[in-house]
């Protein structure tokens, strides 16, 4: 069953979500929640969804960057973003333990702020410690687009949205992004917007 995605302005998106207990993680309600979040994320479609985005203040997010989402992207754009398919998985009670000093900038969007995008600086690589959907400890070392997805979803669990980190002059409707910026490099967009 697809769930309703809440939009910016809903108080739940600005609260730090509560960690799940071991018993909650293994419970049937959490399994059902993960499946419903998976379906909701795919229907949107998106590459990640955090529980606060469906109005539930728990530290759980689902992630999946399906190969079919890449089919219309230019190979050079995928390479530039270091974007590769990521299989479906849930992260529970995650913590970013290490971030690379190198920052990368790309446009980002959010299912809770539909129709808009902006350039967001993020760490190129992260190490995330979390629990999986079976309650097992997991360490994820990610770079490129996968690292960006992890940072975006973990931000949601802390009450942050990409607009809190964006380069505000780059904020745009998706229509105008497609018209004016989609085919340009971030460097060229930065120059045009006087972000240098």
pLDDT of residue 196: 72
Distance between CA atoms of 104 and 49, rounded to whole angstroms? 22
Is the Cβ–Cβ distance between 148 and 108 less than 8 Å? Answer: yes
pLDDT, one tens digit per residue, over 20-55 is 999 999 999 999 999 999 999 999 999 999 999 999
153 is an active site residue: yes
pLDDT of residue 1: 60
Q: Which of 9, 33, 11 is nearest to 20 (CA)?
A: 33
pLDDT, one tens digit per residue, over 172-192 is 999 999 999 998 999 999 999
CATH fold of 11-168: Peptide Deformylase (3.90.45)
64, 108, 133, 153: the active-site residue: 153
With b meaning 16 or more CB within 10 Å and e meaning fewer, what string describes 173-191? Answer: eeeebeeebeeeebeebbe
Q: State the CB neighbour count (10 A cutoff) for residue 152.
A: 23
Confidence of residue 143 (pLDDT cuts 50, 70, 90): very high
Confidence of residue 86 (pLDDT cuts 50, 70, 90): very high
């Amino acid at each position: 069953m697809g769930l309703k995605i809440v939009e910016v302005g809903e108080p739940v998106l600005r609260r730090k979500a509560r960690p799940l207990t071991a018993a909650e993680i293994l419970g049937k309600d959490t399994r059902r929640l993960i499946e419903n979040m998976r379906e909701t994320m795919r229907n949107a479609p998106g590459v990640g969804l955090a529980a606060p985005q469906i109005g539930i203040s728990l530290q759980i997010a689902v992630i999946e960057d399906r190969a079919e989402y890449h089919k219309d992207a230019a190979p050079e754009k995928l390479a530039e973003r270091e974007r590769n398919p990521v299989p479906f998985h849930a992260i529970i009670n995650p913590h970013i333990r290490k971030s690379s000093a190198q920052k990368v900038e790309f446009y980002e969007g959010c299912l809770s702020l539909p129709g808009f995008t902006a350039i967001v600086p993020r760490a190129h690589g992260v190490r995330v410690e979390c629990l999986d959907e079976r309650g097992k400890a997991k360490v994820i070392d990610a770079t490129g687009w996968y690292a960006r997805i992890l940072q975006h979803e973990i931000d949601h669990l802390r009450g942050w949205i990409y607009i809190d980190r964006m380069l505000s002059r780059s904020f745009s409707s998706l229509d105008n992004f497609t018209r004016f910026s989609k085919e340009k490099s971030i460097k060229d967009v930065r120059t045009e917007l006087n972000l240098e």
